[in-house]
Structure 1
Amino acid sequence: MACLPITAFPPLIPLIPEIGNIKKNPRELLKYLDLIDQFSNGICSATKCADKDIQGAIQDIEDGCKPDLNNNNTFAELIYGAFVFYSPLRDSICFKNNNVFCVHETLNTTLSLPDSPINITGNAVIDAIAVADPEQVCTRCNKDIINTFGNFIKNNTLALQVLAQAGINQTRIDTMKIGVAVKCGIKFEDGKVPDHLPQ
């Protein structure tokens, strides 16, 4: 598929051996923002895949990788999830604010926040976001990303199943939505997304 340019992916290769370190300390991602920008440029330079093509790829994965998916093969689940969430992922990867990719802006801001003085959730990044000033995290970029994913999963049984398989059930989604509303205000999750994406 020309809409998934293989040449966009090599910048992410250095992250693969670092996944364990990044899971332990997400701030490690800050070292890779330039590579993530290169990946974003590659993905966004291609035309967005048509829904029918993505649905065909999802069906091919379901048919061809059924044993791997049934046995919780992490790689197969990751590829499957990436195709299921292709549309909001691709849109979010391509969002920009003042000519900076929103993914870059969000990672740079949230991963650079000072640690929370109190333990709230046990996740250092989420706790830092929880105590941050709203103007640091309630940005246009984050609004666009949150609404894009929120609109996508609304009444999307397959997307909700993939999230549940990853341990993110409806209760956790609702808790996240409440957290965002408390932090950024109820209008932050109004479902409005930009219509200025490259197609």
Structure 2
Amino acid sequence: MKTYFITLLVLASATLGSAQFGGNLSDGCKNEMTTLLGDKDINKCFPFASVAPLASSTSIPDQNTLKSAADAICGAPKCSDDLVAKTLNEVKTACQQDISNKNPLASLVNAALSLYSPTRDSICYKNSTDGYCFIESQAAAQQILQSAPKGQDPAITLAGASKDVVCTPCNKAIFNTYFNYQNTNPNAFSDIQQVTDKDINTAKSALQGKCGKDFIDGNVGNSKEDPQKFQSESANQKSDAASLIANRMSLVVLVGSILAAL
């Protein structure tokens, strides 16, 4: 199942909240998941029960369902770095074999905890109409890819996509949040399948090729800025479609898109 990177936290919460711990988990890992679900401190900031209905979904949930889940996640206080690090260490220890064997649930929870901080921040960014940025970005990515001619290379599809749906205040906020986190926590990305440091650097180059060098500058900016004003201010930024095509990782990194297939 292709999983939007930005929904890792949502889907991990849903799966744990449903208490559906099948999938050939080892006994030690299954026990750790059960302990995690009942942890008082984690439950204060990780709303398992509120998003549990998502666990039954076999595809990317619809926008209303994602909004309800985001409301629950963003309505709770953010988990502290110390609590997340402690929990991640416990999961890695108990589920080491499961993660190595690429068990879907263990891999999903490991990824969600590894990237909890930037993912939680990105889920909660709002756009100029007070909608969630990640839902806007997901919808744009789906529309771009689904409207392409059958069999066309996604890199070429995205190279030709309009800048006003790719180079948005929301996407600037989301991508800079993840890239800034990667700069200070490079090991957080090491367990994510199909994503390497080279891929991340290539994605940065691709985004700068499409949106201009200032798009990935470490500045999250204002995700709620009016898109037309944002486009006007960045109109003089040189874009390079050839760079986008050359950087293959860009085919699903743009527009809050897919960084990993779990």
Q: One fold, TM greater than 0.5?
A: yes
For the residues of structure 2 that align with 1:64 and 1:194, how far apart are their CA atoms? 39
Which of 149, 158, 169 is the matching residue for 2:187?
158
Q: How far does the alpha carbon of each residue in 1:24-74 deviate from its partner, in whole angstroms, 9 at most, with x for none?
A: xxxxx4x61110111100100000000000001011101211221232222
The match for 1:103 is: 134
For the residues of structure 1 that align with 2:99 and 2:150, how far apart are their CA atoms? 39
The match for 2:62 is: 32
Q: How far does the alpha carbon of each residue in 1:9-28 deviate from its partner, in whole angstroms, 9 at most, with x for none?
A: 2242342x23xxxxxxxxxx
Secondary structure in 2 aligned to 1:162? coil
Which of 186, 197, 201 is the matching residue for 1:174?
201
The match for 2:110 is: 80
> Runs of 5+ in structure 1 lacking a partner?
19-28
Secondary structure in 1 aligned to 2:190? helix
User: Does 1 or 2 have the higher relative contact order (CA < 8 Å, sep 6+)?
Assistant: 2
The match for 1:136 is: 165
Cα gap change, 1:108/1:195 in structure 2, threshold over 3 Å: closer, same or farther?
closer
Structure 2 residue 88 is the aligned partner of structure 1 residue 58: yes
Instruction: Using the aligned pairs only, state the percent identity.
Output: 30
* CA root-mean-square deviation: 2.2
Cα gap change, 1:115/1:195 in structure 2, threshold over 3 Å: closer, same or farther?
closer
Cα gap change, 1:105/1:46 in structure 2, threshold over 3 Å: closer, same or farther?
same
Shift of 1:179: 1.0
Cα gap change, 1:50/1:194 in structure 2, threshold over 3 Å: closer, same or farther?
farther
Q: How far does the alpha carbon of each residue in 1:80-122 deviate from its partner, in whole angstroms, 9 at most, with x for none?
A: 11000000110010000121000111112221236345966x3
The match for 2:45 is: 3
Q: Which amino acid aligns with 1:161?
A: S
When Rg is computed on C-alpha atoms for both structures, the one with the higher figure is 2
- TM-score under structure 1 length normalisation: 0.81
